[in-house]
């Protein structure tokens, strides 16, 4: 069983991890933890799928642009950026 405090810290780091914004050493540490911890991995899977859906929304046309802009603004407010 994983240490709950470690897991909380890993989950807290997932957005920057997915954004590639963590220092290399921390990026590796999070990756190693995710390879061993199914609980944290489920959080990662959800957040990664969410980002994939946001990226895919770029191909939906102008009808969804207001929603896309609001989602991107909310992510930016949390310190996240998309390529």
Name the pLDDT band for 25 (thresholds 50, 70, 90). Answer: very high
CA angle 68, 30, 38 (to 5 degrees): 85
> pTM of the prediction?
0.69
Q: 56-69: per-residue pLDDT in tens?
A: 776 766 777 788 78
| pLDDT at 1 exceeding the cut of 60 | no
Average pLDDT over residues 33-53: 94
């Amino acid at each position: 069983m994983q240490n709950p405090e470690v897991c909380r810290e890993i989950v807290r780091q997932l957005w920057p991890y997915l954004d590639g914004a963590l220092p290399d050493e921390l990026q590796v540490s999070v990756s190693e933890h995710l390879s061993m911890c199914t609980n944290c991995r489920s959080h990662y899977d959800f957040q990664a799928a969410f980002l994939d859906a946001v990226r895919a929304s770029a191909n939906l046309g102008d009808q969804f642009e207001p929603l896309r802009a609001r989602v991107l603004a909310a992510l930016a407010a949390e310190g996240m950026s998309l390529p």
